[in-house]
Each structure stands twice: as structure tokens, then as C-alpha cells.
Structure 1
Amino acid sequence: MSMTCAPYISFPGNASEAFPYYHELFGGELSLMTYDQFPSTDDFPFDPPHGSVAHATLAAPGITLTGGDAMGESLPQLRNDVYSFLLGFDTEDEARAFLAKVTDSGGQMAMPFEVAPWGDRYGQVHDRFGIRWDVVVPGTGG
């Protein structure tokens, strides 16, 4: 079997801000299409707000993120500890640089980056949009 997995995040109306932020964090190539670019949205079961994102894809080394803006009355709350994205780094310096980039841009540490009981160095951070990123560097602890 051959397959890929790319998380899809439904943002509460701020995907046009979130995806450039993730592009800055991870690099790679960003493709973003707004509903304004569609020839018509007349047949849609919703009326997309001006500038809302229909679909975005960020393809960066080691990660692909997809998503768009959610539509409707009850928009999603992204800050939640039910899910997270686990990022594995080769070195502590790389992991610490990522964590600093997220916290310096409005994010918040959720768990300190330190040696976990299983021997890896591990920590958690919520970015400014509420997404939780778990960070691990294998086998660096004793």
C-alpha cells in the first residue's frame, strides 16, 4: 500500500493569517486559494466571507499541512489537548529553535522541553492559533 497523510485544519476564519505563519515556521511551498478566486459560489450551501480560504496546502520538508476556513454558525475552537502534532527533530538545538520561534511569535509553552521518563527530550507548545505542537528529540536523555 502507498499513501500519505496530511493533517487538514479547519480554521475559524483566520486561515489566511495562519498559513503564512506556518510557511514562515516551516518553509516549503504554500498554495492558498480563497473563495473569491472561484468563478461563482452561488450554488454553495453557504455564503463564504470575502477573503476566506477555500483550501491551502503547505508542503515543507518533513511536513505537509492542509486546511481552510470553516463555514457556519459554530466555528471550531482550535486550542484543545485532544490532538497535537508530533515533530521529531534530530538535535536539541533544532527543537529549541522551533520552540523559541513559536513562543516568540505569540505561542505558549504547554510542557517544558526536558528529558521525559522514556529517555527522549520532549516538550509541548501551543502556537498563537491554538494548535499544539509536541516536540521530541529521540534518545538524548538518560
Structure 2
Amino acid sequence: MSIQFYSYISFPGNAAEAMSYYAEIFGGTAEIMKYGDNPMEGMPFTPPADAVAHAQLEGPVRLAGGDSMAENPDPLDIHNYSFLLYFDSVEEAQEMIEKFTSTGGKVEMPFDLAPWGDHYGQIVDKFGVLWALNVPAQQG
């Protein structure tokens, strides 16, 4: 059996911008398909042509997403999930924190030595997505 795992985010109408942003932050390529790019017959709703039907980031971080088709989509809620990024060094994690904060993200939990021995912190990016950053103790 061969399995690939992608986290999927239903964005409240800004999936194209978010997925392009993640390609810049993490590296890799974002493939973005809008409903108008390939009209689909027989859908149970009529989506806006510029809404993202599916987007996929291929690179060090693999992520998928699209625009929510809810009439009033809920904003992303950082209290229900986080994405955990592991780094080989404290310096690499701090560089990622700088990328996020210099582009509109904010520190949710300062990156520091945690009680369990790892370096750990949390960032909320400009789209409201929570990213936890971790460097294992033996690698700090």
C-alpha cells in the first residue's frame, strides 16, 4: 500500500492567496485550480468561477485546500488544530518565525526551551492558521 498525507484547509474565500503565500514561505510549488478553469457539470451548487476548487502545495510542506462554499464561511479557529513543524536546529526554526512575523503573522507562544526539553513555540500566520514549531532536545 502507498499512502500520501496532506492536511486540507477550507479557507473562507482566500485559498489562492494563502496557498501562494505558503509556497513562498516553505518553498515548493502551489498548483491552484479554480472552478472557472474547468467548469464541472452536475454540481449540487453553482460555485463562483474565481473560487478555488482545489489547491495543492508540493514541497517540504505538503498541504491542500480550497475555498469554502458555505454561504457565510467561518474564519479559521486556532483553538481546534495546529500544524506541527519539526526543525533540525533552533536557528532554522527562528528563521521560519521571522518569515511568518515579517509577513503579518504573530507569535502565539514564544519560541523557547519547553519543560519537556525541546524548543517549542507557536505562530498564527496572516490567514489565521496556527503553526507550532519544534526542535527536539538532542538537535537544539
TM-score, normalised relative to structure 1: 0.91
Letter in 2 for 1:82: N
What corresponds to 2:132 in structure 1?
A: 134
Counterparts of 1:90 and 1:98 in 2: how far apart (Å)? 12
What corresponds to 1:114 in structure 2?
A: 112
The reply on whether 1:19 has 2:19 as its aligned counterpart is yes
Q: Any unmatched runs of 5+ in structure 2?
A: none
- Aligned counterparts, 1:63-142, within 5 A: 63-139=61-137
The reply on whether 1:32 has 2:32 as its aligned counterpart is yes
What corresponds to 1:56 in structure 2?
A: 55
Partners of 2:119 and 2:135 within 8 A in 1: yes
Partners of 1:79 and 1:129 within 8 A in 2: no
Displacement after TM superposition at 1:42 (Å): 5.0
Counterparts of 1:93 and 1:28 in 2: how far apart (Å)? 21
Displacement after TM superposition at 1:76 (Å): 2.8
Structure 1 moving runs of 4+ over 3 Å: none
Q: What number of residue pairs does the alignment pair up?
A: 140
Counterparts of 1:87 and 1:80 in 2: how far apart (Å)? 15
Q: Percent identity?
A: 49
Partners of 1:6 and 1:66 within 8 A in 2: yes
Partners of 2:10 and 2:67 within 8 A in 1: yes
Superposition RMSD on alpha carbons, in Å?
1.7
